[in-house]
């Protein structure tokens, strides 16, 4: 009978001697932030032994080294981000007078726009409703988004208010008010009341060269 062959040991790992441990200790001391994978590559270069990162991790634990986790972003103290104020500040507040709505004009606004919004003299009978109250009714409707029929009590009848608005719209008065407000805004910003130059983008000017219909071109004009 043949003698049984000695079984070969598989997976035998190379031993780590004291010199290897001392070299490992130096490496970790010099570079405490190094990872286990990089330790395996660096130690292979230094001592010529190719070992897995797990072997070096166990050796480090035996030598008393512990892996420190980097502080997470949630745990690290951070300065609180500045919050954008979403409420009205004092400069934005516009408290209405007693018995009026936030959309009503203030005394200063009325005195500024009064030469445009109120006519003095002229022929015909005097107006039945106060002009300032009529404008407050228009501003209330624009601000609240309600219909003419839903104007609250205290304002003139909705038919009179709508007729007043229609006359101001058709006569070009609203454009004059806008121009006046724009001039006041420019003066407050430190500019001249009217701009000294203008820019016209020719690409945004639509013409009839593209073959548009006569009805469409008439509406554009």
Residue written as token pair 């639509």: 206
pLDDT tens string 158-217: 999 999 999 999 999 989 988 888 888 888 788 887 776 656 555 555 555 444 444 444
Q: What is the Cα–Cα distance from 152 to 33, expressed in whole angstroms?
A: 73
Find the helix packing angle between 107-117 and 131-144, rounded to 10°.
110
Token pair, residue 134, equals 């009529």
Any bridge partners for residue 155, and if so which? 153
Q: How many domains, in total, are found in the chain?
A: 2
105 versus 208: the higher-pLDDT residue is 105
Q: Is the pTM of this model over 0.75?
A: no
Q: Would you say residue 56 lies in a domain?
A: yes
Rounded Cα gap, residues 221 and 205, in angstroms? 11
Whether 10 is covered by a domain: the verdict is no
> Does residue 40 fall inside a structural domain?
yes
Same domain, 111 and 173: yes
Please give the pLDDT value at position 17.
86
CA distance 158 to 8: 106
Note whether 49 and 112 are same-domain residues.
no
Instruction: Specify if 47 maps to a domain.
Output: yes
In this structure, is residue 72 part of a structural domain?
no
**pLDDT tens-place string over residues 21-73:** 888 888 888 888 888 888 888 888 888 888 888 888 888 888 888 777 666 65
Q: In this structure, is the dihedral angle defined by the CA atoms of residues 43, 44, 45 and 46, taken in order, positive or negative?
A: positive
Residue 15 has pLDDT above 90, yes or no: no
Residue 145 counted as domain residue: yes
For residue 161, tell me if it sits in a domain.
yes
Average pLDDT, stretch 133-149?
Answer: 93
Q: Which domain range does residue 33 map to?
A: 18-63
Q: How far apart are CA 159 and CA 90, in angstroms?
A: 37
157 pLDDT exceeds 90? Answer: yes
Asked if the structure places residue 132 within a domain, the reply is yes
Cβ neighbours, 10 Å, residue 216:
11
- In angstroms, the CA 129 to CA 115 distance is 17
User: What was the pLDDT predicted at 159?
Assistant: 95
* DSSP 8-state secondary structure symbol assigned to residue 193: S
Residue written as token pair 């005394």: 107
């Amino acid at each position: 009978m043949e003698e049984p062959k000695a079984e070969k040991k598989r997976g035998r790992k190379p031993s780590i001697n004291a010199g290897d441990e001392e070299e490992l200790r130096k490496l970790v001391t010099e570079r405490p932030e190094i990872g286990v994978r990089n330790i395996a590559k660096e130690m292979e270069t230094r001592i010529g032994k190719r070992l897995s990162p797990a072997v070096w991790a166990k050796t480090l634990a035996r030598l008393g080294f512990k892996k420190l986790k980097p502080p997470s972003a949630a745990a690290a103290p951070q300065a609180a981000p500045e919050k954008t104020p979403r409420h009205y500040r004092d400069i934005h507040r516009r408290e209405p007078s007693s018995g009026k709505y936030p959309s009503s004009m203030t005394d200063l606004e009325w005195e500024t726009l009064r030469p445009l919004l109120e006519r003095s003299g002229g022929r015909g009978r005097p107006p039945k409703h106060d002009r300032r109250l009529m404008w407050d009714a228009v501003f209330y409707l624009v601000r609240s988004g309600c219909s003419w029929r839903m104007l609250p009590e205290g304002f003139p009848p909705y038919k009179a208010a709508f007729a007043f608005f229609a006359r101001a719209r058709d006569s070009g008065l609203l454009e004059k008010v806008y121009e006046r407000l724009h001039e006041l805004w420019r003066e407050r910003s430190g500019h001249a009341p009217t701009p000294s130059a203008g820019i016209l983008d020719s690409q945004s000017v639509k013409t009839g060269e593209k073959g548009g219909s006569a009805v469409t071109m008439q509406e554009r004009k």
